[in-house]
Amino acid sequence: MNDLAGKHVVLGLSGGIACYKAAELCRALIKAGASVQVVMTEAAAQFITPVTMQALSNRPVYTSQWDVREHNNMAHINLSREADAILIAPCSADFIARLLHGRADDLLSLLCLARPIAQVPLLIAPAMNREMWAHPATQRNLAQLQADGATLLGVGSGFQACGETGDGRMLEPQELLEDVIAFFQPQRLAGQQVLITAGPTYEAIDPVRGITNLSSGKMGFAIARAAREAGAQVTLVAGPVGLPTPRGVTRVDVRSARDMFEAVMQHAQAAALFVATAAVADWRPASAAAQKIKKDGTGQCPSMAFTENPDILASVAQSPRAQSGALFCVGFAAESHDLLAHASAKRARKGVPLLVGNIGPATFGQDDNALLLVDEHGAHELPRASKLELARQLIANIADRIRAAA
């Protein structure tokens, strides 16, 4: 997906060992569809060469405010006016201080100061030693930069080049890419609390066997990412899947349907939107064996009694907060046939304003999907696309419904 198609990013590098990550970041931005203009400080050139960044960006790299290649000798004006965003990665403690005080004694700080604040956002990816990061001066500077309108992308934690361990590492290129993509997404759910379930559940038969399904969790995880991109604070209750947690999302891992029910009922108290994407087991063994059930040589399967699991979606939809309109509920239906009929019946049975249906065997484990949105007025199809693209379309649709209901 060309998530950054048509965007022009000025990628600024200040001095620090994390400059090596800027090479991969530049490449990732371009692969996402952006054009990238690299601007480096003199200190940055001590860690990575302009030749490297020129090769990756396919553009001449700027290092001096006196660059004669500009027809008017005003690189700080020209470069800042052309940008959709200026991203400083890595942004050293020294450069943060320069930005705070409006210093303009090199090209990068000069173009940051000269940028039209209302049109060209400034994104900062700090990188420094843990003690420098924790120093009150650095924290004061960052707080003031945010107050002045800059966007802080945060830092990672772990082993540092100096041999110490802690906060202050520059985020990884893929994390920064996701943050930049999210920055450009419409903030349709800004400040909203969103609760999402994803993946299968697992119902134990004995200590080594259980009942589950083929849900990969990819659709639910994509919806969690899309909701976070839309500005929401997202809690993702995930069944047993091996997917990485979407950046900025709070994850709660569960195993059984009852585990998921308890987690959802707890977190639903603060949510404004609940999206029940998980493929929850309808039944579970009435009692799980304490030890592995062994074959006895008769060829007969052991009998097994089942009991119904709690209905998570219906329970939330019937809660006082949902009934009052404070919590908007969206259900999912994974069917094998007659999608419209089954999805419509499930929507009415669960009592939710929107039910999203898909054909399970055609989407489980896949990276793409097709969705059918069913409400009281009928059905609307979202044609097959990547799950992330569909998730963004769905979140936009839900946000419009919430606004209309307000």
For 178-213, the pLDDT digits (tens) are: 999 999 999 999 999 999 999 999 999 999 999 999
pLDDT average, residue stretch 381-403: 96
pLDDT average, residue stretch 104-125: 95
Instruction: Tokens for 100, please give them.
Output: 């705070």
Check pLDDT > 90 for residue 301: no
Check pLDDT > 80 for residue 406: no
DSSP assignment of 169-183, as one string? Answer: EPPPHHHHHHHHHHH
Closest residue by Cα to residue 317 from 281, 346, 274, 277: 274
Check pLDDT > 70 for residue 122: yes
Task: List Cα–Cα distances, 255 to 42, 177, 193, 238, 363, in angstroms.
Answer: 53, 31, 23, 8, 22
Sign of CA dihedral 308, 312, 317, 322: positive
- Alpha-carbon gap, residue 331 to 238, rounded angstroms: 16
Instruction: Tokens for 146, please give them.
Output: 């945010």
- Alpha-carbon gap, residue 49 to 87, rounded angstroms: 18
pTM metric for this prediction: 0.91
Closest residue by Cα to residue 89 from 149, 145, 153: 153
Task: Name 374's bridge partners.
Answer: 355, 379
| pLDDT cut 70: percent of the chain above it | 100
Q: What residues contact residue 132 under an 8 Å CB cut-off, 6+ apart?
A: 93, 138, 168
pLDDT class for 1, splitting at 50, 70, 90? low
pLDDT in the model for residue 362: 84
In CATH, what is the architecture of 8-184?
A: 3-Layer(aba) Sandwich (3.40)
- Alpha-carbon gap, residue 214 to 287, rounded angstroms: 23
Check pLDDT > 70 for residue 232: yes
Closest residue by Cα to residue 394 from 222, 200, 183: 222
Q: Quote the mean pLDDT of the chain.
A: 95
8-184 shares its CATH topology with 193-285+306-405? yes
pLDDT average, residue stretch 337-344: 92
Instruction: Tokens for 211, please give them.
Output: 């009942």
Has 329 been annotated as catalytic?
no
pLDDT average, residue stretch 331-353: 93
pLDDT average, residue stretch 382-404: 96
Q: Cα 168 vs. chain centroid, distance in angstroms?
A: 21
Helices (H), 191-338: 218-229, 257-267, 312-317, 320-324
Check pLDDT > 80 for residue 218: yes
CATH no. for 193-285+306-405: 3.40.50.10300
Active-site residue, from 19, 91, 162, 329: 162
Give the amino acid at 384.
R
pLDDT class for 94, splitting at 50, 70, 90? very high
- Give residue limits of the domains in the chain: 8-184, 193-285+306-405
pLDDT in the model for residue 363: 86
